[in-house]
Structure 1
Amino acid sequence: MKDYLVRGIVESKNCRVFACTTKQLLEVARQKHDLWPTASAALGRFMSATFMLAAMNKNHEKMTVTMNGGGNIGTIMACTNSDGKIKAFVGNPHVHYTYEDTGKLGVGLAVGNQGTLQVIKDMGLKEPFVGTVPIQTGEIGEDFSYYFMVSEQIPSVVSLGVLVDTTNEILSSGGFIIQLLPEASDEDISYIEEKMRNFPAVSALLNEGYTPEEILQMIFEDVKILDSQDLFFECDCSKEKMKNALMTVGKDEIQAMIDEDHGCEMTCQFCNSKYSFSEDELKELLESIQ
């Protein structure tokens, strides 16, 4: 199954819905970053939530989402232009915890709950929209749900999941979001709460071959799918961008690279691509600054 996202509406229950599968792109990220299982689960949940958050934007604005709960995984960051492409990383890819009682991957332990979740939306205005909320559990789904409630005043169900094989390969990744519309009644809320009470884990459903549409149809028989979007892990880094970044470190630092190392190598934090600059290239760069 390719990675994609669907957006829909359920008029009978006064809510809008989103669902996605992100297995392939998470596997790409796992290989690029050498992610251990719990780090894979955290980044997979985070990217799925970011994709669905981006799908709520009508103007395809650039979005950067960051989370740091003080845990060993460090900062988690994802960037997308709401175009189906995402780049993302975790501060420490070599994190692996499991919960003793369930044996499940301990994402909350890795992320921690002493920090913030921040969403920055660049809508082309003078100042970007910035929404910041305290992390609740570090499990990511609950934290995005809290963000929607506090920052955007939209009651939301956020279900995210990742399954990792014993070989560390990704078996499934994805999730769904249900958001109540202003017209939602107590009956609509009760229906959703009842459906969610014993609903299967989304990671298990995806691993069994259910599509995002079918998962939504398990909750709402009359869901109307409005559109879909293919999803990819794709970084927009380049040597030219790295060169521009080098220009910001200062003339003394560049001169030191020339004198001591006779060149330098830069690594993109989003995809681990490496870019080398020779001594001559650094000298040209230094001359252009001066």
Structure 2
Amino acid sequence: MSGLNNNCDTLTRFLLPEAQTRGALIRGSHIIQESNRIHGLNGLLAGLFGQTLLASILLLSISKGGIRQVLQLDATTQAPVKRILTEARSGAVRGFLNWQEEEPLLRFEQDDHIGSWMGRPVRLSTVRDLGVGQPYISTIENDSDFLADHLLHYLNQSVQIRADIILLGDCALMIEAMPGCDEEHWFKAVEAMAKIPDDVLATADSATILAYFDELRCKAVGTDSYTYQCDCSVEKMAAATSSIPEDQLQELADEDGNITVSCQYCDKHYSLNPETGSETSR
């Protein structure tokens, strides 16, 4: 089990009683490393994709009783990246990235702003699944170059939550106003958050970062472990192919009548028999 634990990243949930505020903090170094390995990403785009994964975990952490949080970013103009989609569940997160058709010619790196990769504005869609009834689905557009701004716009407009978010490298930090948090309380929380130096956010452990909230009587109230993990299966892949027209399946099939499908989230390949829905040996 020690090997598994070494590949986990820990989200810390905390309270700031003096500011009537709560928050969540995660350094997702293992999550980002594994997602980059699977999807073959590097450089500044790898950082943006990793931060989107961590953002979905932050959103899940404030979803009362939520079991699944999907965060989807879509370009609304011609841009190198067409879509980034991430999905967080208890203990696990996964995601994928879709390039535009011109992808081989457009792998350039101007900076780490979302606008450099997806243009402006970007359409942000979320699915909050509470496990009962229909999931809550929301879609907004925002013109900012920064992913954190998109998230704050969503929280303010669609969820009516007052929050502040920092996404820096593999660090994701969010604070959220609780009932009873007035303007003075909120100013204290935001002021303390703003005083955390970038080099601390970039390299320090969670305890060191949270120490900057000590004057607000910061108290850690729980932790959750997360890994980059996909729950794809033969059954799910077979179900996905069941909606493909028969003539298209025939075009995709090999000489033995089997088709090969790949999971976008983890790049695992399945060889399926469309008639039986079972996996075939390769």
Q: Same fold (TM over 0.5)?
A: yes
1:243 aligns with 2:238: yes
| CA displacement 1:238-264 (0-9 Å, x = unmatched) | 222212212210222223334778432
Per-residue CA shift, 1:225-282, capped at 9, x if unaligned? 11001110000112222122122102222233347784321111111111123xxx34
Does residue 41 of structure 2 align to residue 44 of structure 1? no
Q: Give 1:1-290 correspondences, 5 Å limit.
A: 2-70=8-76, 71-81=79-89, 83-92=90-99, 95-99=107-111, 105-162=112-169, 173-197=170-194, 199-201=196-198, 204-208=199-203, 210-221=204-215, 222-258=217-253, 262-277=257-272, 281-285=273-277
CA contact (8 A) 1:19 1:213 kept: no
Distance in 2 between residues matched to 1:285 and 1:238, nearest whole Å: 12
Calculate the TM-score normalised by the size of structure 1. Answer: 0.82
Q: C-alpha deviations, 1:168-205, integer Å up to 9, x for none?
A: xxxxx12100112232233223323433445322xx42
Distance between the aligned counterparts of 1:258 and 1:98, measured in 2? 41
Give the drift of 1:285. 4.8
Matched-pair contact (CA < 8 Å) for 1:63–1:122: yes
Specify the code of the residue in structure 2 equivalent to 1:150. Q
**1:142-183, Cα deviation, whole Å (9 max, x unpaired):** 111111111111111110122xxxxxxxxxx12100112232
Alpha-carbon distance in structure 1 between the residues aligned to 2:27 and 2:266: 20
Distance, in Å, in 2 between the alignment partners of 1:60 and 1:154 is 16
> What amino acid is the match of 1:270?
Y
Distance in 1 (CA, whole Å) between partners of 2:263 and 2:254 is 24
Equivalent residue pairs, number: 264
Cα distance in 2, alignment partners of residues 214 and 37 from structure 1: 27
| Aligned equivalents of 1:121, 1:198: Cα separation in 2 | 32
Where structure 2 has 5 or more consecutive residues not aligned to the other structure, the ranges are 1-5
Q: TM-score, normalised by structure 2?
A: 0.84
Q: Which runs of 5+ in 1 are unaligned?
A: 100-104, 163-172
Provide the rounded CA distance (Å) in 1 between the counterparts of 2:125 and 2:214. Answer: 31
Gap change, CA 1:234 and 1:27, over 3 Å in 2: same
Shift of 1:29: 0.5
Cα distance in 2, alignment partners of residues 14 and 130 from structure 1: 28
Is the 8 Å Cα contact of residues 45 and 160 (structure 1) preserved in structure 2? Answer: yes
Contact 1:156 1:179 (8 Å CA) reproduced? yes
Deviation for aligned residue 1:111: 2.9
CA RMSD of aligned residues (A): 2.4
C-alpha deviation, 1:96, in angstroms? 4.3
**How far apart, in 2, do the equivalents of 1:153 and 1:282 lie?**
46
The residue type paired with residue 27 of structure 2 is T
C-alpha contact 1:136 1:146 (8 A) present in aligned 2: no
